[in-house]
Amino acid sequence: MKIGVYFCKCGTNISDRIDPQKVMEEITKLKDVAYFETVDFLCAEEGKEFLEKDLKKKKPMRVVLGACSPRDHEKTFMNVLSKAAINPYLMQMVNIREHVAWVISDICKASDKASAYLKGAVARVQLHEPLKPEELNVCPDVLVIGAGPAGLKASLSLTEAGRKVVLVEKNPVIGGMPVRYEEIFPNMECGPCMLEPMLGDVLHGDNSENIELLTLSEVVEVAGYLGNFIVKIKQLPRYVNPKKCIGCRECIEPCPVSAKNEFNCSLDERKAISFAFSGGLPNFPFIDDKVCIRTKGENCRLCEDACIVDDAIIFDDKEKVIEKNVGAIIVAVGAELYDCSNLTNLGYGKLPNIYTSLEFERIIASNGPTEGEIQGFGKKGPRSIAIIHCAGSLDKNHIKYCSGTCCQSAFKFNQFISKKLPNTKIFHFFKEISVPGKETFQLYNKALNNPDSMFIRYRNINEIDVSIENGRLAIHYSFSSGKRCKSTADMIILCPPVIPSSDTAELGSILEIPADRYGFFEELHNRVDSIQSKLKGVYLTGSCQSPMDIQNAMNQGLAASGYILSGLPEGKKLEIEPIIASVDEERCSGCRVCNLVCPYKAIDFDEEKAKATTNSVLCQGCGTCVAACPAGAIKGNHFTVEELLAEIQGVLT
Amino acid sequence: MNTKRNENEFEPKILGFLCNWCSYAAADKAGTMQKPYPANVHFIRVMCSGRVDPQFVLKAYEEGADGVIILACHPGDCHYKEGNLKAVGRHNMLLRLLKQFGIEEERCRFDYVSASEGGKFVSVITDMVGTVKELGPLCLNGK
Ligand SMILES: Cc1cc2nc3c(=O)[nH]c(=O)nc-3n(C[C@H](O)[C@H](O)[C@H](O)COP(=O)(O)OP(=O)(O)OC[C@H]3O[C@@H](n4cnc5c(N)ncnc54)[C@H](O)[C@@H]3O)c2cc1C
Ligand code: FES
């Protein structure tokens, strides 16, 4: 075999510390080494040009490069090999700079070590196989799960780039949590006004024909991998035909039954046929068959009778299972709030006038249960309102982390209350204050400067006791010194932390993506790759990945669409790195050890043949299964048993 | 079979397995910091410490290595999620096996170094060389 060896002097970085002459003498002794070239700067433009020409001229069958770290320049030289029409995997790079020249002061020892490494490479490279990236046809369409800020932004940016999106939303309305807020921090913009243009674009914008919106829907099954997922979506019947309904609301009034309205945090009731809240989009009602008396056998048609168009109400609408083929999946299912009834001393759910932040959002919303009025306290409103921050956050008995958004909601409420009820005193009970970034401190400052607001730092949420005294809410708490104190309020707003939604675990198991220690979906890397899940082709956006504000949720939606536009190019084939594992069926004994050790679920088991097979798209080439297979039936490309044994032998002898 | 074993100062041969993402990068880091360490350890790059097959370790001893060191990413940092945990498991198994061959535990070390721990890399390697020097050459049956 004709092997060409190149020795980069790296200026004098290498050649001052390793004697090229001595190394050459050692290496040219080896039987298959055809030539040994010394180059000044292999990675410089002239160096690469020289290498390309020399390779073309000498046509070696294998190439060994003694130079710097392959982590720096392996790709550089692989490209040069490709240009010289040599398969780039027929090369082995030896790190004689970082691992030898720079760390060994004795030139004799350094030269010996460099020779040993080169011998290992010469032994190994002979066994290298020409490898080619596998090419795969992919589906460019995308499934987005959840139509909150994150999912909407992702859908819009993908369709703007010409992609097709299937947008699955569990609720009858889109917009996620923020469509329920009257005002949005930090700039106190009107929530519905801020979001409506986006919702409008999704429903009937320029690219809306490329968004297939499925409301009242959930993903129930997912199979496949990046480029090729098959997804099953269950859609509940709406009983209202969106193509006919004009959203006039005539049907609501006559409906004879009602139930608690979960879209208003159950603070009021809705009819069996209803809108989630006024202004909710898409603008047509739904029939809740758990409430409607027709499902109990009665022949009520009052809503249909009231309907002013024909066939808008479809009593025999059925649950559907819809199958879709997509290339990537964006998860944007949002989060929930920690259940404040776990904070037993605070009286939530037992005493009157104690609300969570989300409930208070609905109370102050003009499309909420009281149309924005804080009722029950006469014309002047409540004398004082207590806002309890960190209601369960940063506490080892409840939620360990800080959600980073609750203080901002608290100061938003301060603003709102002082505008709406100028005579009301506001107490902020806090453990810590979190107002990061360039804007959020402003609301905090306003609250600080508000003569009607007071800040009280408590020691521990578990030491706060709320009770009724003289018809008002008495709040007993401890200062950091331990001293007990009491304040009185007419209303309490609890700001609990954001926690993973109750759907997260189930959806995670459907998608086969893991959760982190708090139950949020786990990112591939929390700094470098927080948008990618641990499964290739599944992206995480918004507060299902971590608590965040709307700005970040939108940014993540954009980031995910960027990943997809660049990583899953339409009309192109997906190139799959050839450094992956493959199973030799003959040798596979069907023991499934590989199934257990693979961190990427890249190994399937063919039950019929009782053999393992690897999935080249999912495989990341770590080689764990190769090392684990007791039958030696798995080959790890470019790091085969034979190649590594040859390298070990070459280096040591 | 090996001349080095007759010299005055014993210079052990040690083989090191480095994963591409952390420990190999740590060795690069030690290089760029120009932190010297003994020349006795020769490194083999694998993508993940989970790729280190016990037979590679046995092969190293057979080919005259006096010690073997496997360096992985810290727990939780493995580029491939938990290859390093698989590697620890295999290392424990190896130690039991080596005992049967009469090879001391200290000749087969497992440790964690992150990409940024150039300093730790140097001290772990230096320490390993010292340990094996003290143990003396490895004499396998018949060799
Ligand atoms: C009380 C309160 C006030 C806030 N005020 C502000 C503010 O003023 N300004 C600000 O920037 N941020 C605010 N936030 C934070 C803001 O709510 C979040 O940043 C935002 O909701 C995150 O958007 P998202 O798209 O990730 O999730 P969400 O808004 O929660 O949307 C998720 C969507 O997914 C749907 N979904 C859930 N599960 C499934 C499923 N299994 N299948 C299909 N669909 C599903 C949901 O129905 C929902 O439509 C506030 C948060 C709280 C709790
Ligand atoms: S990549 Fe370093 S141990 Fe797995």
The ligand 2 atom at the shortest distance from the C-alpha of residue B84 is 3
- The neighbour count for residue A246, using CB atoms within 10 Å, is 12
3-class secondary structure, A37:
strand
Ligand nearest to the CA of B82: 2
Residue of B nearest to A107 (CA): B39
Substitution candidate for ligand 1 out of A144, A333, A523 with most atoms within 8 A of CB: A333
β-strands A453-457, A425-430 pairing: parallel
- Determine, for residues A645 and B55 on separate chains, whether the beta-carbon distance falls below 8 Å: yes
Task: Give pLDDT tens digits for A144-185.
Answer: 999 999 999 999 999 999 999 999 999 999 999 999 999 999
Cα–Cα distance measured from residue A459 to residue A477, given in angstroms and rounded to the nearest whole number = 8
Residues of A with Cβ-Cβ distance to B124 under 8 angstroms: none
Cα–Cα distance measured from residue A261 to residue A362, given in angstroms and rounded to the nearest whole number = 11
Q: How confident is the model at residue B142 (pLDDT cuts 50, 70, 90)?
A: low
pLDDT over threshold 90, residue A250: yes
- The partner residue sitting opposite B35, judged by closest CB among A70, A103, A628, is A103
Task: Give pLDDT tens digits for A68-80.
Answer: 999 999 999 999 9
On whether the CB atoms of residues A277 and A180 are closer than 8 A, the answer is: yes
pLDDT value, residue B8 = 66
Q: Could you tell me the end-to-end alpha-carbon distance of chain A, in angstroms, rounded to an integer? A: 20
Torsions phi, psi of A213, nearest 5? -90, 125
Helix spans in A302-341 (H): 302-306
A553 lines ligand 1 (CB under 6 A): yes
Residues of B with Cβ-Cβ distance to A117 under 8 angstroms: 42
pLDDT value, residue A599 = 85
B91 touches chain A (CB under 8 A): no
Residue of B nearest to A653 (CA): B63
3-class secondary structure, B34:
coil
The pLDDT mean for chain A works out to 95
Cα–Cα distance measured from residue A266 to residue A31, given in angstroms and rounded to the nearest whole number = 83
Task: Give pLDDT tens digits for A467-515.
Answer: 999 999 999 999 999 999 999 999 999 999 999 999 999 999 999 898 9
Q: How confident is the model at residue B3 (pLDDT cuts 50, 70, 90)?
A: very low
The contacts of residue A399 (CB under 8 Å, 6+ apart) are A338, A392, A393, A496, A497, A499, A518
Least confidently predicted of A116-120, A376-380, A613-617, B69-73: A376-380
pLDDT over threshold 90, residue B76: no
In single-letter form, the type of residue at position A645 comes to L
- Determine, for residues A98 and B90 on separate chains, whether the beta-carbon distance falls below 8 Å: no
Average pLDDT over residues A547-563: 98
Task: Give pLDDT tens digits for A427-444.
Answer: 999 999 999 999 989 999
Distance B88 CA to ligand 2 centre (A): 11
Any idea where the domains of chain B sit in the sequence? 39-134
pLDDT over threshold 80, residue A571: yes
Q: How confident is the model at residue A388 (pLDDT cuts 50, 70, 90)?
A: very high
On whether the CB atoms of residues B8 and B61 are closer than 8 A, the answer is: no
A5 to chain B nearest CA, in Å?
19
DSSP-derived letter for residue A391 is S
Cα–Cα distance measured from residue B65 to residue B59, given in angstroms and rounded to the nearest whole number = 9
Average pLDDT over residues B92-110: 95
B111 to chain A nearest CA, in Å?
18
B50 lines ligand 2 (CB under 6 A): yes
- Closest listed residue to residue A228, CA positions, set A582, A599, A531, A615: A615
A173 lines ligand 1 (CB under 6 A): no
Ligand nearest to the CA of A387: 1
A353-381 burial, b if ≥16 CB within 10 A, otherwise e?
bbbbbbbbbbbbbebbbbeeebeeeeeeb
H or E element, residue B44: strand B41-46
A2 touches chain B (CB under 8 A): no
Helices A641-652 and A107-125 cross at an angle (nearest 10°) of 150
Cα–Cα distance measured from residue A14 to residue A19, given in angstroms and rounded to the nearest whole number = 8
Distance B71 CA to ligand 2 centre (A): 9
Average pLDDT over residues A23-50: 96
Q: How confident is the model at residue A575 (pLDDT cuts 50, 70, 90)?
A: confident
pLDDT over threshold 60, residue B5: no
pLDDT value, residue B1 = 40
Cα–Cα distance measured from residue A495 to residue A512, given in angstroms and rounded to the nearest whole number = 32
Substitution candidate for ligand 1 out of A177, A199, A234 with most atoms within 8 A of CB: A177
Domains in chain A: ranges and CATH? 3-125 (3.40.50), 142-329 (no CATH), 336-499 (3.50.50.60), 578-637 (3.30.70.20)
Distance A370 CA to ligand 1 centre (A): 22
- Determine, for residues B52 and A627 on separate chains, whether the beta-carbon distance falls below 8 Å: yes
A201 lines ligand 1 (CB under 6 A): no
How many Cβ pairs within 8 Å bridge chains A and B? 119
Cα–Cα distance measured from residue A652 to residue A633, given in angstroms and rounded to the nearest whole number = 27
pLDDT value, residue B141 = 65
Task: Give pLDDT tens digits for A596-605.
Answer: 999 888 898 9
Residues of A with Cβ-Cβ distance to B50 under 8 angstroms: 597, 622-624, 627
On whether the CB atoms of residues A194 and A351 are closer than 8 A, the answer is: no
ipTM: 0.94
Ligand nearest to the CA of A554: 1
Cα–Cα distance measured from residue A430 to residue A457, given in angstroms and rounded to the nearest whole number = 5
Residues of B with Cβ-Cβ distance to A14 under 8 angstroms: none
Q: Which two tokens stand for residue A470?
A: 């003289």
Q: How confident is the model at residue B4 (pLDDT cuts 50, 70, 90)?
A: very low
- Closest listed residue to residue A488, CA positions, set A456, A450, A448, A462: A456
pLDDT value, residue A287 = 97
Residue of B nearest to A596 (CA): B86
Residue with tokens 């569990």: A170
Q: Which two tokens stand for residue A473?
A: 């809410």
| Percent of chain A with pLDDT strictly greater than 70 | 100
Cα–Cα distance measured from residue A361 to residue A337, given in angstroms and rounded to the nearest whole number = 13
Ligand nearest to the CA of B88: 2
A579 to chain B nearest CA, in Å?
10
User: Across-strand partners of A36?
Assistant: A5
Residue of B nearest to A108 (CA): B39
On whether the CB atoms of residues A197 and A244 are closer than 8 A, the answer is: no
DSSP-derived letter for residue B73 is P
- Determine, for residues A627 and B65 on separate chains, whether the beta-carbon distance falls below 8 Å: no
Phi-psi category of residue A255: left, alpha or beta, with phi > 0 → left and psi -120 to 50 → alpha: beta
Q: What share of chain B is helix, strand, coil (3-state, %, to 5)?
A: 45, 15, 40
On whether the CB atoms of residues A419 and A405 are closer than 8 A, the answer is: no
H or E element, residue A384: strand A384-388
- Closest listed residue to residue A444, CA positions, set A382, A486, A387, A493: A387
On whether the CB atoms of residues A557 and A541 are closer than 8 A, the answer is: yes
A225-239 burial, b if ≥16 CB within 10 A, otherwise e?
bbbbbebebbbbbbb
